[in-house]
Chain A
Amino acid sequence: MESSKTILTKIFTDYYLTAAQAKKEGKPIAYITAFTPVEILRAMGVVSLYPESYAVVCAASKKAPDMIHASQMAAFAQDLCSYSMIDFGAEHYDRLPYGGLPEPDILIATNNQCGTTLLWFKLLAQKKNIPLFIIDYPNAIGQQSTMKDYIRRQHKSLVAFVQEHTSNTIDSHILTEQVKNSKKACRGWKKVHELNKQSPIRLRAEKLINALFPIVAAKGTQSACDYYDALLRENQESPQTESTDTTRLLWHGYPMWFLGNKFPSGFDTDFQIVLNDYTLWWDLDYKDGVDEMESLITAYSNTYLNWSLEQKINWIMGLVKDYSVDGVICHANRSCRRALADIVPLRKALSKNKIPSVVIESDMANPDFYSKEQVGLRIESFRETLRAS
């Protein structure tokens, strides 16, 4: 049986090699936003790439400041989302990781995460002079059949759009396989997280972050399922190095991709992040017992960022309970206005339930908005506060 590390390396390499090869072979390439129904595109033979995920790679490889600077030189304001700034800067920067993403033929954007991605992709469509398809996912659709029909029609239109621009048709067998694998990968991903309900925890937060890529970029593939199966298998046992006497923390929101461990220093065996809710945003709700298209409707409508405030807070409060969390660190990520809005009401809800919290202001990808000293002081103060209580 292959190790999770081996499978992850293959998934990562395949993603970039397949993209480069596809360009050479003339296969259609789409740039898509994080919560696009990629299963449909794969079933139509379209190689789908995530500029947001690539921005993460750039940030983690310390290229972000130069790329953001290049973007500023091209007249984009620093206040914009740093993922988009990295992407805008890429065309003016010549030392891109993996040589950059190959040029796309089509663009697909969804509004189930934020409004910035729509504007970002509209701009890309204008600059590259290529077609863009936008999918509108009304939030909190519940069981409303009209809303489901509305999304179903859009998914059908997506198929027509891709067919028009690539001449590829949809293969229903591949779609079935893709949805089945997505469902399985999401369940595996959730189970991996659930290992940390135990004490001591099985996977440190930085390990979970490093395991995110398959569910983001390879969802729907057998490799992603195999990866989470392997990760689950390898981490069942209690690690000797971890303490059971620990203050259990939930990190709310984005990690800081530019940091080596993706989280600031100041955490150790007795003061640990047991869960980062951001990584569970990719545990999508693929329904059982319905057709593939219906399964995709629920999965992509019910994304975290598309929920109502009440749904978000209830979900996080549930995680706090399930993971026996003692305190919450809220990352006020300057880049993501939609996630920023959650913080004040979340802190109030936590306070009502006697769960202490602290706010750390920074950014997911732009280290210029990160102050090691100030973040360190807040974490240290929070630690003292929790210890005293």
Chain B
Amino acid sequence: MRYMLGIDAGSSYTKMVLIDETGAIAGKNIAPRGSEIVVSCRRSYDDLLTALKIEKEQIDGVIATGYGRKQVRFADDVITEITAMAVAGFSMDSDVRTIIDVGGQDSKVVALDESGKVVDFVMNQKCSAGTGKFLEVTSGSLGVNVEELGELSLKADKVLKLSSTCTVFAESEIISCIAAGEKKENIIKALHNTISGQIVGLYYQTNSDHQGKVFFAGGVALNKGMVAELTSRLNREVIVPPDPQFIGAWGAALFKRKNQK
């Protein structure tokens, strides 16, 4: 069997997906980014092949995407997440017309046409408002893990509003809310409301008729609270594909396979 490896060198995690000749996922792994991307990627690569008992000679190509894509020196090709997300999203469902990806460093909304081509994309502003980093930093102020945020936000019993979308100012607002005795669950829901507001802004800036299915990819899509907020604000179903954090890496591998044939 021959394989293709897609690597998504994200700002928080490195994700790898190995696909076989049919495009099916043969294996995947995820690891914290580490201080040196190329080192952590190389380690993850070796671990993945060892776990799957696959030899390097069986790998037809390695392609990298994500924030650190150019630092993955052993990759023989790179593409941006925009293209990777589009390829993966459309491969999963040809009715997908919008892909929302909230990553650690940036958020993006990608609009596709009926053939799967990217017709437009919009990304967040230079600051971290509207990104996974916003949730990571603010969850630290609340003393909860990022993974817990979704479940906790669904237990909120009050609608709070944070006035700031700036990560630094939001953090100080959270501290004020805690001091005022506000429940963590309500604060977390407010955080999700803030970040989803930024993403919905990007969604409407995208030149598209906003028809068709909406996919939500990236690690933040695992957060049920964020899915609920986006669904509510967009007033339409927001579909989270299986393993949303691997969509970029899988899309990259699919792109490489398609373009190598």
Within the complex, what minimum Cβ distance (angstroms) separates A5 from chain B? Answer: 37
One of A357, A371, A381 near B80 (C-beta < 8 A): A381
User: Is A361 a contact of B125 with CB atoms below 8 Å?
Assistant: yes
| Residue in chain A with minimal CB distance to B68 | A373
A17 interface residue (CB < 8 Å to B)? no
Report how far A384 CA is from B118 CA in the complex, Å.
9
Interface stretch among A24-32, A214-222, A247-255, A344-352? A344-352
Check A378 against B123 for contact (C-beta < 8 Å): yes
A358-B81 Cα distance, complex, nearest whole Å: 15
Q: With A351-B207, A385-B82 in contact, do A374 and B106 touch (Cβ < 8 Å)?
A: yes
Contact indicator B80/A358 (Cβ below 8 Å)? no
Contact check, B121 vs A385: say whether CB atoms are below 8 A apart. yes
Q: What interface size band does chain B fall in?
A: 10 to 19
CA distance A186 to B118 in the complex (A): 39
Please indicate the chain A residues that have their CB under 8 angstroms from the CB of B120 in the complex: 351, 356-357
| Interface magnitude class on chain A | 20 to 34
Contact across chains for A384 and B106 when beta carbons are under 8 A apart: no
Residues of A within 8 A of B80 (CB): 377, 380-381, 384
Q: In whole angstroms, what is the CA distance A226 to B125 when docked?
A: 43
B126 on the interface (CB 8 Å rule)? yes
In chain B, residues 108-128, which have Cβ atoms closer than 8 Å to a Cβ of chain A? 117-123, 125-126
Q: Which residues of A lie under 8 Å from residue B81 when comparing CB positions?
A: 381
| CB-based contact B207/A347 at 8 Å | yes
Chain B contacts for A1, CB-based, 8 A: none
Closest beta carbon of chain A to B203's beta carbon, Å: 14
> In the complex, A357→B67 CA distance in Å?
22
By secondary structure, the B interface counts as: mixed
Q: B30 within 8 Å of A by Cβ?
A: no
| Assembled-state Cα–Cα distance A356/B122 (Å) | 12
Q: List 5 A-B contacts (CB under 8 A).
A: A347-B205, A348-B207, A358-B121, A377-B80, A389-B117
B126 touches A371 (CB 8 A): yes
Residue in B closest to A387 when the chains form the complex, CB atoms: B83
The 6 A-B pairs of least Cβ separation, nearest first, read A351-B207, A381-B82, A381-B80, A385-B118, A384-B83, A380-B80
- Pick from B82, B119, B125, B205 the residue with the most CB of A within 10 Å: B82
Cβ of A141 under 8 Å from chain B: no
Q: B205: which A residues are within 8 A, CB to CB? A: 344, 347
Please give, as numbers and ranges, the residues of chain A lying within 8 Å of B118 by CB-CB distance: 384-385, 388-389
Interface residues of B in 57-87 (CB under 8 A from A): 67, 79-83
Say whether B126 contacts A369, CB under 8 Å: yes
**Chain A's nearest CB lies how many Å from the CB of B209?**
10
Known contacts A344-B205, A374-B126, A385-B117; 12 further A-B pairs (Cβ under 8 A)? A350-B207, A351-B120, A357-B207, A359-B122, A374-B106, A374-B123, A377-B67, A377-B80, A377-B106, A384-B82, A385-B118, A389-B118
Whole-angstrom distance between the Cβ of B111 and the nearest chain A Cβ:
10
Whole-angstrom distance between the Cβ of B8 and the nearest chain A Cβ: 14
